[in-house]
Amino acid sequence: MQFTQENLDELNILVRYKLTTTLEGIKVHTTTAAPSTIEATRRLFDKGLVTLEDGGYLTTIGLEAAEHAHALLGLMNPA
């Protein structure tokens, strides 16, 4: 099994969230964002990982997924 492009697009959204606070979300602007970004954010909403179709805040399970995404990115791109 491999990551699909859709998986990668969703992971790229998750790593945009700051893990140091739950009071800061993101907004994906549907007029300027790439279609793949808009679709990935909607899929995350459908999966219950974010609170709004255009981003919003991480849910509890979304925070866990974002933590894993950040960790994976750190392992793949060590400083």
Buried b (16+ CB within 10 A) or exposed e, 54-74: bbbebbeebbebbeebbeeee
Query: With 90 as the cut, is the pLDDT of residue 79 above it?
Result: no
Query: With 90 as the cut, is the pLDDT of residue 40 above it?
Result: yes
Residue of higher predicted confidence among 18 and 21:
18
Q: Which domain holds residue 13?
A: 5-76
Q: What is the pTM of this model?
A: 0.93
Structurally, the chain folds into a number of domains equal to 1
Q: How far, rounded to the nearest angstrom, does the alpha carbon of residue 9 sit from its chain's CA centroid?
A: 8
